[in-house]
Amino acid sequence: MQHVIRIHDFSRDEIDRILDRAAELEPVAHTGSSDALSGRILATLFYEPSTRTRLSFDVAMKRLGGDVIDLGAVETSSAVKGENLADTISVISGYADAIVLRHPKEGAARMASEFSSVPVINAGDGAGQHPTQTLLDLYTIRKEGKLNKAKIAFVGDLKYGRTVHSLAHALSLYGADIYLVSPDQLKMSDLMKDALIESGTEIVETAEIDDVIDVVDVLYMTRIQKERFPDPNEYHSVVGSYRITKETLKDVKDNLIIMHPLPRVNEIDPEVDASRHAMYFRQSFYGVPVRMAILSMVM
C-alpha cells in the first residue's frame, strides 16, 4: 500500500510518473468523466479549513467515477467527544478505499498511515508537509514553463511557508537554481539551505525582488502573514516592497510564469491577473489532474 505523506519519500522517477499520469488525465479534469475509480470511496478528513485542496480532491474523485465521504465540520464529528485521531482513522479506513487528511499537528499523516488499512494522503499537517501541493506546483512548472534546470525565485515568507520548503526540495531533484527573496525576519533556515546546497542546488539570497526578477523563469509568490511582525509598521513596509504590479513586470523574460499557492492577500495586484505571466489560477486548477493521478495510483 502506498501512502502519500511527504514529497521527500518520492524519487524523481516516481514524481515524473505522477506528472505523466496527470497529463494523461488533464482532459478528463477539464470537462470529462471516467470510470477508473467507479465503486471506490474516498474519505476526506479536514480538521482545518481548506477550500482548494478539499474541493479539488472531491472533484478529482468524482471525475474518476468514485464517491466521496466527508468527515464534515470537526465540531459535528466524534472528535468533539474526545475521540483521538488514531481511533478515527482505524474506523474510517474500514469505510473507505483511501483517506485524505488535513490536521493541525505535524506528523499527523505519518501517524495516521500507521493506523490505517488503506492509503493515507497528506493534505497538510500543521506547518509540516503538503505533498500534493508540491506535485501540482511541479506540474504547473513543467506544463507552463520548464522544470529541468529552472531558475526559480521564491518570494516572501521563506521561513514558515511549508509550500516553499517542499517545493525547493523537489526542485533540487531537477537541477534548479533557486533565488530566495525575503526580508531578514522571514529568511529560509540555515538547516534547509544547507540541505539544498548539499544536494547540489545553486542558491542566491537577496532582499530585493528587482535583483532577480529579470533572470528567473518562475516567480513563486507567498503570503506574508501579519502576525510574523511585532511592529505593524514594519509589516506594512515589507509587504509593500514584495508586491507584484504591471510595473514590476516590465523587463521580465517573455516566458516568465508567476505562481502563488493562494489565497493571496496583497502580494499580486489584480491587474496582473490578465497578463500572460499570471499562472496562479491555472496552477490551482492543475490540482485536479494531479490529485486524479495520485488517487488513481494509490487505489
Partner 1 sequence: MKPKPGEPGDRELRVKRITNGTVIDHITAGQALNVLRILGITDRPEEVVSVVMNVSDRKKDIVKIEGRELKPEEVDKIALISPDATINIIRDYEVVEKHEVILPSQIEGVVRCINQNCITNTDEPVKPRFVICRGERVELHCVYCGSVIADRIADFLI
Q: Report the interface residues with partner 1, using CB under 8 A.
A: 6, 84-86, 103-108, 110-111, 114, 125-129, 191
Q: Name the catalytic one among 44, 53, 88, 140.
A: 53
Q: Determine the 3-state secondary structure of 267 from DSSP.
A: coil
Q: For the chain, how big is the Rg over CA atoms in Å?
A: 19
SS (H, E, C) 165-204: HHHHHHHHCCCCEEEEECCHHHCCCHHHHHHHHHCCCEEE
d(CA 223, CA 155): 9
Q: Which is nearer to partner 1, 5 or 180 (CB)?
A: 5
**C-alpha cell at position 186:** 522571514
* Shortest Cβ 39–partner 1 spacing (Å): 32
State in angstroms the smallest separation of the CB of 109 from partner 1. 9
Is 40 assigned a catalytic role?
no
245 labelled catalytic: no
206 φ, ψ (degrees, to nearest 5): -155, 165
- Tell me the residue type at 234: E
Catalytic residue, from 17, 21, 52, 243: name it. 52
Which amino acid type is present at position 157?
Answer: D
Residues 101, 74: contact at Cβ < 8 Å? Answer: no
Cα–Cα dist 110/98, whole Å: 14
Give first-to-last CA distance, the chain, whole Å.
9
Which position among 3, 40, 54, 102 bears the catalytic label? Answer: 102
Q: Which of 130, 142, 169, 223 is catalytic?
A: 130
Q: Would you say 5 or 158 has its CB closer to partner 1?
A: 5
| Residue 85 CB, nearest approach to partner 1 (Å) | 6
Residue in 131, 145, 208 with CA at minimum distance from that of residue 176: 145
CB nearer to partner 1: pick between 140 and 166: 166
The question of whether 222 is a catalytic residue gets the answer no
CB atoms within 10 A of CB 284: 21
Q: Which is nearer to partner 1, 195 or 262 (CB)?
A: 195
* 102 classed as catalytic: yes
Is 146 one of the catalytic residues? Answer: no
Minimum distance from CB of 81 to partner 1 (Å)?
Answer: 14
We find the least distance from the C-beta atom of residue 128 to partner 1, in angstroms, to be: 6
In whole angstroms, give the CA distance from residue 165 to residue 188: 8
Nearest residue (CB) to partner 1, 194 versus 208: 194
**What one-letter code names the amino acid at 74?**
V
Cβ nearer to partner 1, comparing 6 with 193: 6
Q: Which amino acids are annotated catalytic? A: 52-53, 81, 102, 130
